[in-house]
Amino acid sequence: MARTAVSGRLTWRAATLAEARWESPTARTLVLDVPDWPGHLPGQHIDVRLTAEDGYRAQRSYSIASAWQPGGKVELTIQRLDDGEVSPYLTDVIEVGEQLELRGPVGGWFVWRPQQTAPVLLVAGGSGLVPLMAMVRARAVAGTRQPFRLIYSVRTPEDLLYGDELRRRVREDQGLDVHHVYTRKTPDGWPSPAKRIDVAALNTYGWPPDFGPDCYVCGPTTFVETAADILVALGHDPRRIRTERFGGTS
Amino acid sequence: MGIISRGFGGRRRESVPGLPPGQYLTHDFPVLSAGPTPRIPLDRWRFTVTTETGEKTSWDWKEFQALPAEDVTVDIHCVTKWSKLGTTWRGVSIETLLENVDTVAEYSMVHSFGGYTTNVPLEDLLDGKAWIAYQFDGEDLHPEHGGPARLLIPHLYFWKSAKWVNGLQLMPEDEPGFWEAAGYHMYGDPWREQRYQGD
């Protein structure tokens, strides 16, 4: 089962791409078969290492998108960055049946454990949804009833990750609420114009601070700075706000 | 392990001397923090050295600013794989802070506003290897990057360069700090690629 701390050396493992699917025009989920995977907690990441034919190597870190179940696979959702070096290979080049190297899981802070009893607020910016989605999925796997609220900021409806799955989970996973913030373009008939995440969104769709929620904020640096600052200003305990920032892993 | 990725490598970045293994060059300055960015008013800033016997020496912002400072240009390497070369900082060397401190401790814990900690062997803080920096690129250090003042210890992965520092605790034994307890390496030498426990 999932373990919280890493013991011994994290060795590189061969992973085989078992399945791949597009989540949006620029984001692809890789379903990886990793023999003897020790399990992981939602929010943890792995390192991927690629070796070119001439021996050149590059490594990048990616959040795990899937919840762990014994015998299960490891899923990553990769956002293509057009000027990137590794992400375009993972979104557009690698084919089912091919292998890559990975090691992990890494990270014991930006994680949610089913034993946590507080309500949870997840605040995602763009592909920052990925580790938070792992938490939503792990909640369902654990069959717990902790109330979860997800506020998901995304540029346009076309950029939504896991759109169908989130709609289904809102219906089926009891106690999960999802609110979207569209920053560039809204769906037809959306009640408000496109705007960035703000005090109103976090106040209306988050938890009141006196509920003592555990808050997880993940996204680009400016997004995380803004959202975390607002949560502190609204009265949330800074020690209960866990953040993960990325400048884009390319 | 003989896994070759056909079709990978065409977009490789410029090869740069001075990059530790597994790192790539960035010209940005990414931010990594475990939580919200604290805003610390200078009139509440204080830095305290505590020895293994409990003796304390501390400076308020004004006293700290009056200490002799150095300008340094160093390369920095983040465990998340980016490196940034030739960064310029101004700060007070740890050696200066420890000048009148009596200790036989071999380890230290660096403490920050907000409770963040990281462990560093004391000898890695001495001999011009580490500073409490309060300027970056000629300007006051922005809170996102650890201002008013952060540790700068460029020969270790950058998580060791704790932001928003407020204290240095000298210890006879090594103990893990915040990220170290969460699976990261106790020492963190980028040239030996000591990213995670056991590396």
Query: B24-28+60-192 has which CATH code?
Result: 3.90.420.10
**Chain B residue closest in CA terms to A97:** B5
Answer yes or no: is the ipTM higher than 0.90: no
Site from B4, B5, B164, B196 to mutate, A interface, most A CB atoms within 10 angstroms: B5
Chain A contact present for B18, CB below 8 A? no
Site from A9, A48, A85, A226 to mutate, B interface, most B CB atoms within 10 angstroms: A85
Asked whether the predicted pLDDT for residue A4 surpasses 60, the reply is: no
Between B17 and A79, name the one with better pLDDT.
A79
CA distance B102 to chain A (A): 34
Q: In chain A, which residues have their Cβ closer than 8 Å to the Cβ of B194?
A: none
Domain edges within chain A: 13-106, 120-246
The Cα angle at residue A157 between residues A154 and A162, in degrees rounded to 5: 75
* pLDDT tens digits, one per residue of A174-230: 999 999 999 999 999 999 999 999 999 999 999 999 999 999 999 999 999 999 999
**Chain A residue closest in CA terms to B29:** A247
pLDDT of residue A246: 78
Query: Which B positions 117-176 lie with beta carbon below 8 A of chain A?
Result: 144
Chain A contact present for B56, CB below 8 A? no
pLDDT of residue B105: 97
CATH class belonging to A13-106? mainly beta
| CB-based contact A98 B179, cutoff 8 Å | no
Domain edges within chain B: 24-28+60-192
Contacts of B68 (CB under 8 A, 6+ apart): B92, B96
pLDDT of residue A18: 98
* pLDDT tens digits, one per residue of A88-137: 999 999 999 999 999 999 998 999 999 999 999 999 999 999 999 999 99
pLDDT of residue B28: 79
Residue ranges for chain B with pLDDT beneath 50: none
| CB-based contact B11 A84, cutoff 8 Å | yes
CA distance B77 to chain A (A): 14
CATH topology of domain A120-246: Rossmann fold (3.40.50)
pLDDT of residue A5: 47
pTM beyond 0.90: yes
pLDDT of residue A3: 41
CA distance B25 to chain A (A): 11
Mean pLDDT of chain A: 93
Q: Give a three-class secondary structure readout of chain B.
A: CCCCCCCCCCCCCCCCCCCCCCCEECCCCCCCCCCCCCCCCHHHCEEEEECCCCCEEEEEHHHHHCCCCEEEEEEEECCCCEEEEEEEEEEEEHHHHCCCCCCCCCEEEEEECCCCEEEEEHHHHCCCCCEEEEEECCEECCHHHCCCCEEECCCCCHHHCCCCEEEEEEECCCCCCHHHHCCECCCCCHHHCCCECCC
Asked whether the predicted pLDDT for residue A85 surpasses 50, the reply is: yes
Question: Whole-angstrom Cα distance, residue B20 to residue B81?
Answer: 9
